[in-house]
Structure 1
Amino acid sequence: METSTVDAPQSEDLNLLRGLAADLAALGYTVDGVADLLGPAAHAALARDQIVPALVALERRGRGARDAQEGTLAAVVRFFLLGQDVPAEELEPAFPTARTGGLLALGLAEEAGESSLLRASVDLRPYAWDEGEGEVRLWVASDLAAHQRAGVLRKDHVLGIGHASATLIQSTARRPVESALDLGTGCGIQTFHLLRHARRVVATDISERALAFTRFNLLLNAETLAIAPEHLEERVELRLGSLLEPVAGERFDMVVSNPPFVITPRVEGETAQDQFTYRDAGLPGDQLVAGLVSSLGDVLTEGGTAQMLGNWEVREGSRWQERIRSWVPKELDAWIVQRELVGPEQYAETWLQDASEQRDADSYARSYAAYLDDFALRNTSGIGFGMLWFRRPSPGQARFDRYEELGHPLEQPIGPHWQAAVERADWLEEIGEAGLEGAHLVVADDVTEERHQRPGAEHPGVILLRQGAGFRRTSLLSTEQAGFVSACDGELAAGQIVGALGALLGRDDEEFRRNLVREVKELILDGFLVKA
């Protein structure tokens, strides 16, 4: 791809990028540094795109700043995060190497009417995550959002680290892989995470501006991401194109995608320039997600996995699972978690507000009506949102055909728990029923039991197992299941416990044994029981 894109950060001057990274690190422009400066309440509000508490906090802080560096950090926060015009002389101390002239040259700043005032051209914010062995700290550039600039978003807006991208990061079941594909990379956030466990990543996008942002972010954070800036292509390839077209004929061990899945009414005569590229693929209904799911088998290696987010339409009188199941190729496993189901009205309101279209009342009314007419045309009663996992299984791996609704809060990140569940399923497939009967099991550490009974009753009428971690499921137990779980202390093998329960309950028939073993497998798959 071209290294220079108009109206996007410039990344040709590697020395200037190194200087900028050094300046930001020395300043303490980190997630913790900004949080400490603003205070917890204002920092939390900023995460909700509310800048007023941060402005108030900085004004109060300015009257009693501890030192000059704190005042300089406040100027950078006002500039990049709050969208405020800042005098160049206030910013200059923050960038002793890059200088404010470097910000202008990199396309991060522009003159704001008067030569002494500068205005941010992008949102450049600190980002971090904990990998257990230490925190990974980056800086991520994206377009300024609606709360940072006036007017409706530009159609080729490059989204920052939003709720959807964070959801995909947290839900990805990570494992070391040779090759990975980030389909629809945006500002590159999924690629940054993939680089921590993939030797090579291909990042694609239909937007040239998005790829320019991704390239800038990769090179700005080259040292942390273990990239040689002069040889970026050795670890990351950036490719321009739609969906899977840029990787036709190639296969990957892992695919992640936060695609433009938003369902948007089509308008006669519209062009690609009329669409918000970060969320709208220009196809009617949920065809984008349907087409992508049906094609994933073409790009996965044996044992390869794909995870993505999506919206799907639920037609009047049908179940949400039916539509997605019809898209999945026979050669792929599928595990789909629906997190939310909303009506056409709420869906329209969400996405009209997302692009600040409510600022034009007449346009808002027309667009709202268009959404409702579009959904009515296809007899759509609801729109689902959720997380999709797929695998091209290797011989000996478990098969998945799982569709579930989990609307309650999950432990985050959920990805490690997702990966653990897949590994448990593969273990059960490997050992078979005979191996399971010889396995020693214990109750997972996060699991608790609840018993409910009528006052004066001799026995509980309801016995529940609850997970405090992971997917946080609740399981209603039968008497024999409750007895099995109570005996799982690692001492007896599963087959011994089943036999003892059969004798105790007067059920030593094969049907009892077969049904209880099947129910035990489900408790293992869901993580209530684990290997001792």
Structure 2
Amino acid sequence: MTDSAAGPFSTVPGAPRSDDPALLAFLAADLAALDYTVDGVARLLGGEAHQALGRDQVVPAQLALQGCSEPLATVVRLWLLAEPVAASALADALPATGTEALAWLGLVEPVDGTSPALLRAAVDLRPYGWPAETPGGADTDLWVASDLGAHQRPGVLRHDHVLGIGQASLTLAQATIRKGVGRALDLGTGCGIQLFHLLHHAGSVVATDISVRALAFTRFNLVLNAAALGLAPDDLDPANRDARVSLRLGSLLEPVAGEAFDLVVSNPPFVITPRHRGEDAGDQFTYRDGGLPGDAIVETLVRGLPAVLAPGGIAQMLGNWEVVDGPDAGARAPWTARPAEWVADGVQAWFIQREQLSPGAYAETWLQDASQGRDRKAYADSYADYLLDFASRNVSGVGFGYILLRRPEEPRDRDAAGDMEPFGTSARFEEILHPLEQPVGPHLAAALDREAWLDARGSILGEHLVVAGDVTEERHQKPGAEHPGVILLRQGAGLRRTNLLSTELAGFVSASDGELAVGQLIGALAALLERPDAAFAEGLHSDVRNLVRDGFLLPAG
């Protein structure tokens, strides 16, 4: 990273500049010396105020900082609370950088536009970090620049707003499988959150976005955090064919057509947004609106992403999908109907719906997100546009959740026996509305490993199984009843599923201590329950496979 290798996104109007790596190294040193980290800010504000700040509530933090003159408090007021600060106090807090350099970088500006004595934030610059993601690894502390939010600078957001560390980006980061890979793609990078994580377990990363301002923010964040991210001086040089990072401007998969990746992550602009009356493309919020009707952008990616996956490669993304009712009154369609249409043959797919909203609730969520509730008439018109748009397609709800796609190592034929199909030769759909153990990525990885184990064996009659350590059993029966009416198996970790057991399956689980093979246990239960028919054995074998797939039962040893 030298001035001659600054690249096309180092000096973009309206975004912080990154063409002086030495200056950004001074800024990083100043911020580190202040302990401007997630933990450092939490200690300064106290737990309650810090948690409130994470919900975009600044009042508790303002109260916590009353009368506090510490240098760290000056920086927190400036970039997290977006309050004006004295230039002299800021110069004392960041002595190696200085206020003139901060203004030149595009990080601060005079409050009244002329006088440099009182400065305000031009961007949001906040600490971000995560604990070690691999055994023996170190915690990571970074700083991330993005546009100021509406809670910091009142008013409707600019339409090329660069979103900061939002809940969706954190959700995707926690869901991503963190195995070492060669090439990774961050599609729709925004300010670069997913890219930063990828650099810790990918040999090289391509990051794309349709917004030149977003790529400018990403580049600034990369240069500012070069040391923490392990970036060498030429790793952002567009002329370096071996550079670890490549930033590319373009829509969807256009910038990477013909390439292959081991891992793709994407938090795309999936929000379903109607085209308002009299609106053109320049009026849309690029960070959330894909510019396509309905859920078409998510459909486009689900259909197109397998083309850029290497054999065995995985794509993980977040998305919305419409629940479209049939033409007959009262004909409610399942939420799986539209996503099921998008998955190509030979592609492994897993959809997990985490939430479903009515059209009205969905409209309210995203109108509030863009601070469009301040003008009553504009809000009412926009709300009506949402409802009319959904009604035009017979939409009764909008789902949100995880999407995982995988290109198999080699093509496989479908198995005629449904219970024996390998995972993903047809799409798998789950609705999990309860809280998951976070990060959930390791559990998704374990699920894929179990699928591979099952796929390699077909029949598991000769295998020995044990109950997973987090699994408990619940039995419910009416008072005085001889036998339980309901037997439930619950997971305490991971996806925390609950499974309703039949009597024979409950008996199998109870006896799964690794001593007897699956076939032996099935035979014993068939004799005990006087069910010698083949259908009993085949059905129980299928149910046991499903318990292994979902992590209730595991291979012994």
Structure 2 counterparts to residues 188-267 of structure 1, below 5 A: 188-233=192-237, 234-267=243-276
Residue 87 (structure 1) aligned with residue 86 (structure 2): yes
Deviating beyond 4 angstroms after TM superposition, the runs of 4 or more aligned structure 1 residues are none
Structure 2 counterparts to residues 313-332 of structure 1, below 5 A: 313-316=322-325, 317-332=332-347
Give, as a single letter, the amino acid of the residue that structure 2 aligns with 1:39: G
Aligned twin of 1:419: 445
SS at match of 2:264: strand
SS at match of 1:224: helix
Aligned twin of 1:165: 169
Give, as a single letter, the amino acid of the residue that structure 1 aligns with 2:42: A
Aligned twin of 2:121: 120
Distance 1:423 1:22 in 2: 42
C-alpha contact (below 8 Å) 2:346/2:411 kept by paired residues:
no
Aligned twin of 1:75: 74
Aligned twin of 1:49: 56
Distance 2:406 2:494 in 1: 21
Aligned twin of 1:98: 97
Distance 1:188 1:284 in 2: 26
Distance 2:411 2:476 in 1: 41
Distance 1:3 1:59 in 2: 37
C-alpha contact (below 8 Å) 1:266/1:283 kept by paired residues:
no
Aligned twin of 2:30: 23
Distance 1:117 1:315 in 2: 54
* CA displacement 1:99-119 (0-9 Å, x = unmatched): 122211211111112321111
1:229 CA drift (Å): 3.2
Match of 2:66 among 59, 65, 74: 59
Residue 342 (structure 1) aligned with residue 357 (structure 2): yes
* Structure 1 stretches lacking a partner, 5+ long: 66-70
C-alpha contact (below 8 Å) 1:219/1:229 kept by paired residues:
no
- The root-mean-square deviation of aligned C-alpha atoms, in Å, is 1.4
* Structure 2 stretches lacking a partner, 5+ long: 1-7, 238-242, 326-331, 413-421
SS at match of 1:496: helix
Give, as a single letter, the amino acid of the residue that structure 2 aligns with 1:120: A
C-alpha contact (below 8 Å) 1:297/1:331 kept by paired residues:
no
What percent of counterpart residues are identical? Answer: 62
Match of 1:403 among 429, 437, 446: 429
Residue 388 (structure 1) aligned with residue 403 (structure 2): yes
C-alpha contact (below 8 Å) 2:211/2:286 kept by paired residues:
yes
- Comparing 97-106 with 28-37, greater Cα deviation is found at 97-106
- Comparing 239-248 with 290-299, greater Cα deviation is found at 290-299
1:510 CA drift (Å): 2.2
Residue 8 (structure 1) aligned with residue 12 (structure 2): no
Give, as a single letter, the amino acid of the residue that structure 1 aligns with 2:160: D
C-alpha contact (below 8 Å) 1:184/1:257 kept by paired residues:
yes
C-alpha contact (below 8 Å) 1:203/1:237 kept by paired residues:
yes
C-alpha contact (below 8 Å) 1:259/1:279 kept by paired residues:
yes
1:460 CA drift (Å): 1.3
* CA displacement 1:122-168 (0-9 Å, x = unmatched): 11111111125331111111100010002110000000010111111
Residue 441 (structure 1) aligned with residue 465 (structure 2): yes
Give, as a single letter, the amino acid of the residue that structure 1 aligns with 2:504: E
Give, as a single letter, the amino acid of the residue that structure 1 aligns with 2:318: L
SS at match of 1:359: coil
Distance 1:489 1:105 in 2: 67
Distance 1:244 1:156 in 2: 20
Distance 1:230 1:298 in 2: 30
Distance 2:397 2:205 in 1: 36
Aligned twin of 1:109: 108
Distance 2:448 2:166 in 1: 27
* CA displacement 1:345-379 (0-9 Å, x = unmatched): 11111111101011111111111111111111111
1:288 CA drift (Å): 1.1
The answer to which structure has the higher helix fraction is: 1
Aligned twin of 2:419: none
Residue 272 (structure 1) aligned with residue 281 (structure 2): yes
Match of 1:471 among 495, 504, 517: 495
Give, as a single letter, the amino acid of the residue that structure 2 aligns with 1:237: S
Structure 2 counterparts to residues 27-42 of structure 1, below 5 A: 27-42=34-49
* CA displacement 1:412-432 (0-9 Å, x = unmatched): 111110110010010111122
SS at match of 1:232: coil
Give, as a single letter, the amino acid of the residue that structure 2 aligns with 1:343: S
Question: Please, what TM-score do these two structures have when normalized by structure 1?
Answer: 0.96
Aligned twin of 2:329: none
Question: Please, what TM-score do these two structures have when normalized by structure 2?
Answer: 0.92
1:458 CA drift (Å): 1.9
C-alpha contact (below 8 Å) 2:180/2:201 kept by paired residues:
yes
Give, as a single letter, the amino acid of the residue that structure 1 aligns with 2:77: R
Distance 1:487 1:354 in 2: 52
Aligned twin of 1:68: none
Aligned twin of 1:515: 539
Distance 2:230 2:286 in 1: 30
1:396 CA drift (Å): 8.1
C-alpha distance 287-425 of structure 1, shift in aligned 2 (>3 A): same
Give, as a single letter, the amino acid of the residue that structure 2 aligns with 1:403: F
C-alpha contact (below 8 Å) 2:467/2:509 kept by paired residues:
yes
C-alpha contact (below 8 Å) 2:9/2:219 kept by paired residues:
no
- Comparing 82-91 with 221-230, greater Cα deviation is found at 221-230
1:399 CA drift (Å): 3.3
Give, as a single letter, the amino acid of the residue that structure 2 aligns with 1:422: L
Distance 1:529 1:258 in 2: 33
Residue 141 (structure 1) aligned with residue 141 (structure 2): no
Give, as a single letter, the amino acid of the residue that structure 2 aligns with 1:178: G
- Comparing 498-507 with 119-128, greater Cα deviation is found at 498-507
Distance 2:456 2:171 in 1: 31
